[in-house]
A and B are shown apart, each in its own frame.
Chain A
Amino acid sequence: QQQVKQSPQSLIVQKGGISIINCAYENTAFDYFPWYQQFPGKGPALLIAIRPDVSEKKEGRFTISFNKSAKQFSLHIMDSQPGDSATYFCAASITGNTPLVFGKGTRLSVIA
């Protein structure tokens, strides 16, 4: 059973455009939703995270939008740059340090 479903699997965006990656979850007990960024040959690193008490969180060009009723959350990358080309993973967990459950990842390519 896939607890966090992520789409699309791959995404190509023009430089300066908006990249949007979506995730959906089933377990209503999840209360922590981070996004991780992974460059080739490296381990994933935390990019941005949100809790369900807010509907949006913005850090620079990166924004998480959260829809609790739809059990969906998404990552928006504004003004996408070639340096943003990486694999992005959404994840979810329940507070109390239960392990993160990851989506399958989205490979983003930003082309000039």
Chain B
Amino acid sequence: NAGVTQTPKFRILKIGQSMTLQCAQDMNHNYMYWYRQDPGMGLKLIYYSVGAGITDKGEVPNGYNVSRSTTEDFPLRLELAAPSQTSVYFCASSTSNRVGNVLTFGAGSRLTVL
């Protein structure tokens, strides 16, 4: 049971390049999320999905796009990379327990834009 798998773990991009961060989960969770983490700034939600074919913007969606064609996969695309997108990106999926929503995070993808 792999949980949430993110690829790549590290990537360096030049300004203006594009790339896709991959995220896959094998827990059959309907909900999936992309967060970015910057030092001292916590986790900010980029996009999320409540199921295949449904996506919605989070707090910081500009410069990103997502798609959700299957329950398992939730790729994040960066178009025209900018230095402000240098960050660590976390994908997560969620299910509910007796108390509430429980997020399972991937190990993260560290992106540097130069």
Contact = CB atoms under 8 A, between A and B. Distances in A.
Interface of A: 6, 9, 32, 34, 36, 41-46, 49-51, 89, 93, 95, 97, 99-105
B102 interface: yes
Interface of B: 4, 31, 33, 35, 40-45, 48, 50, 58, 90, 92, 94, 96, 99-108
Contact of A104 (B40, B50, B104): B40
Contacts of B35: 102
A95 B48 contact: no
Given A41-B107, A43-B106, A43-B108, A93 B43 contact: no
Nearest to A33: B100
Contacts of A105: 40, 42-43
A103 B37 CA distance: 11
Given A43-B92, A97-B94, A32 B99 contact: yes
